[in-house]
């Protein structure tokens, strides 16, 4: 049976020829450097000890310290973190960041935990992975169901273990603890800047551009607010419990309030829509912002959007890629579309290491410039080689990894022994 990572690597294979990547470099990129599996004992509020399963996968660090989020989710497993860490490697390369790729996670449903249980779990996870992380080795950040509060606990636990404060060991922290302004909404904002750019180049007016968003976590919510504020029509949103739609456009702030108070957008008054139906809605833009494997061989032919912006990691399978490509649907791939989060994580790391703090205008300006320049580069490669935006993004990322490996003696110039 092919694993998620095998599936993810087919994208690398597609790009390899165009990137003129050396076979030795490709061989290095087919396996993670290391996957740490840990058991995390946590005393629950009722006195019972539960032992959770946790992971940290460090995929590749040729371009810099390993970098990537930590997710708390019941489906977390070794195969999943491996492919997520591979995507982080490609994401940091396409974003031009001096980082490699990593990802971690704990197999848990965080909705079933009290706040103090969540804190003990976060701290225990850091104790378990502490031997392999640090500001110059591996820098964790938020991911699915983790946030600035979780990073605060993790960062504090790490400082206790080190015997000194080490803010650059984690990103996505609260601002008073060394977090960067603009990190909270960075993933959604990055996707929004790409949307603005793509709508402009296609001549799409915001009020005629309908958007459906699957997933209403951090990335989906901020993207929805920014798009609605700019006049786009957010016609449907959903989360794991279901969705709501309105052809004239939803009041996104109201929907966010419902999500906060009721725990789901499905409780919002209006027409119901299922997650599956949302993906097939007739819109200009579809934004998968939830989990992996949502657009597959089974439903790709039913996607009616003209543009897909992947705010989630890995929402489209390679088979679905081919179907969307054949149908002329442009897909802004995850490694570019959701890179805003890790780009501002990088800004945070730089600020921590240099003891400086940037204004929100600086953060936004630098984020936009980076993403818009990268989108232009990816679009050029796509038209030059007649390939999809995804393959073009992999080509550019792989070229950078290839260039970094060469002076290391992998793929070409080998130092004399």
Q: Does 143 bind ligand GLU (CB under 6 A)?
A: yes
> CB of 170 within 8 A of CB of 154?
yes
Q: Are 67 and 88 in contact (CB under 8 A)?
A: yes
With beta carbons less than 8 A apart as the criterion, state whether 311 and 371 touch: no
CB of residue 59 vs ligand GLU: minimum separation in angstroms? 12
Q: Give the SS3 label for residue 208.
A: helix
Q: Does 69 bind ligand GLU (CB under 6 A)?
A: yes
Distances (CA, A) of 337 to 35, 247, 267: 26, 25, 29
Among 41-49, 232-240, 282-290, 338-346, the segment contacting ligand GLU (CB under 6 A): 338-346
Binding to ligand GLU in span 281-320, by CB under 6 A:
313
- Distance between CA 396 and CA 56 in Å, rounded? 26
Least Å from the CB of residue 23 to ligand GLU: 28
- Which is nearer to ligand GLU, 104 or 411 (by Cβ)? 104
β-strand partners of 245? 236, 271
CB-wise, 42 or 102, nearer to ligand GLU?
A: 102
Interface map 90-129 toward ligand GLU (x if CB under 6 A): -x--------------------------------------
Indicate the length of the chain as a whole number.
417
Q: How far is the CB of 198 from ligand GLU (least distance, A)?
A: 20
Tokens representing 36 are 């740490």
Taking the complex as a whole, the smallest distance from the CB of residue 257 to ligand GLU amounts, in Å, to 25
Residues near 216 by beta carbon (within 8 Å), at least 6 away in sequence = 224, 237, 238, 239, 255, 259, 265, 289
89 lies in the site for ligand GLU, by CB under 6 A: no
* Candidate residues 89, 122, 171, 258; the one interacting with ligand GLU per rule CB under 6 A: 171
Specify the residue, 91 or 268, whose C-beta has the smaller distance to ligand GLU: 91
CA distance 122 to 124: 6
103 is catalytic: yes
What is the Cα gyration radius of the chain?
Answer: 21
Identity of the residue, 32 or 68, whose beta carbon is nearer to ligand GLU in the bound complex: 68
Enumerate binding residues for ligand GLU (CB under 6 A). 67-69, 91, 141, 143, 171-172, 313, 338, 341-342, 345
**Catalytic positions, please?**
103
């Amino acid at each position: 049976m092919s694993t998620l990572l095998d599936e993810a690597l087919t994208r690398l294979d597609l790009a390899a020829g165009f990137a003129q990547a050396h076979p030795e470099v490709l061989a290095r990129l087919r396996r993670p450097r290391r996957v740490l599996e840990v058991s995390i004992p946590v005393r629950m509020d009722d006195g019972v000890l539960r032992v959770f399963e946790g992971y940290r996968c460090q995929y590749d660090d040729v371009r810099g310290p390993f970098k990537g989020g930590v997710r708390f989710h019941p489906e977390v497993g070794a195969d999943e973190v491996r492919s997520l860490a591979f995507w982080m490697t490609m994401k940091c390369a396409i974003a031009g960041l001096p980082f490699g790729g990593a990802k971690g996670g704990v197999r848990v449903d965080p909705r079933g935990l009290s706040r103090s249980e969540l804190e003990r779990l976060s701290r225990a996870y850091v104790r378990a992975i502490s031997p392999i992380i640090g500001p110059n080795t591996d820098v964790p950040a938020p991911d699915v169901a983790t946030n600035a509060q979780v990073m605060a606990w993790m960062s504090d636990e790490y400082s206790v273990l080190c015997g000194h404060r080490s803010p650059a060991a984690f990103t996505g922290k609260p601002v008073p603890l060394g977090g960067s302004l603009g990190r909270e909404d960075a993933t959604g904002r990055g996707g929004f800047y790409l949307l603005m750019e793509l709508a402009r180049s296609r001549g799409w007016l915001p009020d005629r551009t309908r958007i459906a968003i699957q997933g209403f976590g951090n990335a989906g919510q901020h993207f929805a607010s920014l798009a609605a504020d700019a006049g786009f029509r957010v016609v449907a949103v959903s989360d794991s419990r279901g969705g709501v739609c309105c052809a004239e456009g939803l009041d996104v702030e109201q929907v966010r309030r419902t999500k906060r108070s009721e725990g789901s957008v499905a409780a919002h008054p209006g027409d119901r829509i299922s997650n599956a139906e949302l993906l097939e809605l007739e819109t200009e833009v579809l934004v998968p912002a939830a989990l992996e494997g949502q657009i597959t061989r089974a439903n790709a032919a039913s996607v009616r959007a003209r543009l897909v912006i992947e705010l989630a990691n890995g929402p489209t399978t390679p088979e679905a890629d081919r179907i969307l490509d054949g149908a002329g649907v442009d897909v802004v791939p995850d490694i570019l579309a959701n890179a805003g989060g890790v780009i501002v994580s990088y800004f945070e790391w730089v600020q921590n290491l240099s003891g400086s703090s940037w204004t929100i205008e600086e953060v936004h300006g630098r984020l936009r410039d980076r993403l818009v320049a990268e989108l232009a580069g990816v679009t050029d490669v796509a038209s030059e080689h007649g390939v999809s935006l995804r393959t073009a993004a992999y080509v550019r990322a792989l070229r950078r990894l290839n260039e970094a490996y060469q002076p290391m003696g992998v793929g070409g110039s080998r130092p004399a022994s």
